[in-house]
Structure 1
């Protein structure tokens, strides 16, 4: 019984690490810029919007952050993060 509970907890923790929202498109290849990103606030989390955010920011990678999800404080100049609300709409965006 205890073994099953531990295995269930492990599966739950692994599920918490899963990417939320559409797969992160990879484009560009440079340093991220916050200029022009505010236009996406309020839009739904879709692959199309993610690709537009990458193009606007110039970032190489994109990370979707679900409501309440914890992220590392590691700074990456080539990454843009899209923070989502409970309805999977963009709440805020930031480089790093």
Structure 2
């Protein structure tokens, strides 16, 4: 019984340490995550590889996710991802980080 009492703090500490599913994401240096301030100018433009590259450069994101009209997507958050929603004509409807 005494051995269990000695191990209890270690077990609790390991559980607390494993709660953070994305270690380091809250410690990103400033300016390294996606920023959506310059993305409004892309709304209405037809989707293309060139447009995606320009949007990535403008947002400083490292990943791009195109979302076709009516598509269902996972709501997981990634601070380095740019999510671009398209309308029925395959034009940019909105662009947000995450």
Q: TM-score, with normalisation over the residues of structure 2?
A: 0.67
Structure 2 portions without partners, runs of 5+: 1-31
Superposed CA offset, 1:47-84 (max 9, x none): 00000000000000000000000111100000001100
SS in 1 for 2:82: strand
> Which residue among 68, 71, 82 is the counterpart of 1:69?
71
User: What is the 5 A alignment of 1:22-33?
Assistant: 30-33=32-35
Matched residue SS, 1:44: coil
Which runs of 5 or more structure 1 residues have no equivalent in the other structure? 1-29
Q: Distance in 1 between matches of 2:81 and 2:45?
A: 19
1:49 aligned to which of 51, 54, 64: 51
Q: 1:72 is paired with a residue of what secondary structure?
A: coil
Partners of 1:45 and 1:56 in 2: how far apart? 15
CA RMSD of aligned residues (A): 0.6
Q: What TM-score do you get using the length of structure 1 for normalisation?
A: 0.68
State which structure, 1 or 2, has the greater radius of gyration over its C-alpha atoms.
2
Aligned length: 67
Give the one of 79, 84, 87 matched to 2:86. Answer: 84
Aligned: 1:58 with 2:69? no
The whole-number CA distance in structure 1 between the counterparts of 2:46 and 2:75 is: 25
